[in-house]
Amino acid sequence: MKVAVLGFGTVGAGIYEMLANAKGLEQGPVLVRPGKDDAPFKRTSMEAILAEPGVEAVAEAMGGIEPAFSYAMAALKAGKHFVTSNKALVAAHGIELAAAAREKGVGFLFSAACGGGMPFLHNLSIAVESDLIVSLGGILNGTTNYMLDAMQRRSLGYAEALSDAQRLGYAEADPSADVSGLDALRKIVLSAAVAYDLLPVEGLCHEGIKSITAEDVKRIQARGLSCRLMAKCGPAAGGKVYAYVEPVLFPASAPECSVLDNYNMARYEGKCAGPMVFMGQGAGRWPTASAVLRDLDCILKGRLHMLSPACHEGSADNAACCHSYYVRLPSSMSGCFEAKSYSESDGVSELITKPMSVKAMHELAARLRGEGASLFFAAVED
């Protein structure tokens, strides 16, 4: 099967190189920007890609929603299989793309969009055919895990940890999607669509690591705890799901604390199979390219879809998810929380809240920040 590649950046170049040695697959043309067509296999228009003789599949590694969505629809309508590592694209238009693929009898797979080289979505999409998924989630962003690990094991400050991640290629020049928690949120949204036939577009909560400081790390470690950014999802009442991202504090013995550097750890729990855990590099040229080729191999073997025809857009409801939170904020605002424990020093308060809902915590934090508060919060794992 000849495969065209859209984009020749870090991941796109990796896909093209891996195609040279992949069984049953063949290198096709590569879409590049005008002026970048400096090799015989490069093309500068989607029309040229689709007109190339023998191309049966298209692998997209451009990123962003447009023009990736337009190119994806053009490929599917032309009867080409389509695989992608683009989580933003699938979160925004996955249901439309899945419908277009089914109409044309071709494949649409995106396991590379969540977890890089980890076969998390791949296995999840197989598990749902015979088991009920009780819950899913994990450490789904390598950039923030690298930064938190660097701040906690090497005592780096936030800015220094971010700079280090950018130097190593783990963080983009604009890291906002990673550090805000949006990247992990998109991944949990895709996971919900695969597991529960519901792609949540409303009611989502996400908190990243932008507010954590070196002083916060010292306070957390003094409590014998470690911080990780976690994404969580599962069924909720009324045909909805809960789906959120937030920092979580774990005791040192927790398995999450052994996930170091830019590694991810994703999990799902089947009602019958029990917990399944996957660990590996969640981003980068070769891990992501390998996942794209895994999807292409699935298409060769006749496995064409990850989203069922029943998948639809819906809402998340995080009001019933309750736990305690660690909160650092100005002492003048500490009365906004019902606290189980409390300490104060130099106008800064640390407290552990009584159990409260994820929805309430995220809304209260947003309100206090709107009033000028510098605030960090993290769930406390029971």
Helices 182-196 and 87-104: crossing angle in degrees, nearest 10, is 30
Q: Is 187 among the residues known to form the active site?
A: yes
Active-site residue among 80, 87, 187, 240? 187
Sign of CA dihedral 12, 13, 15, 19: positive
Side-by-side strand order, sheet with 42-43:
42-43, 26-31, 2-6, 55-60, 81-84, 108-109
Q: How far apart are CA 131 and CA 252, in angstroms?
A: 32
Sign of CA dihedral 89, 359, 328, 371: positive
Q: How far apart are CA 101 and CA 81, in angstroms?
A: 8
Rg over alpha carbons for the chain, rounded to the nearest Å, is 22
Q: How many residues does the chain have?
A: 382
Helix (H) or strand (E) holding 327: strand 325-330
- Residue pair 265/279 in contact by the 8 Å Cβ criterion: yes
DSSP of 248-270, one letter per residue?
A: EEEETTSGGGG--TTEEEEEEEE
DSSP of 185-226, one letter per residue?
A: HHHHHHHHHHHHSEEEEES-EE--STT--HHHHHHHHHTTEE
DSSP-derived pairing of the beta strands 240-251 and 205-206: parallel
**Which residues are annotated as catalytic?**
187
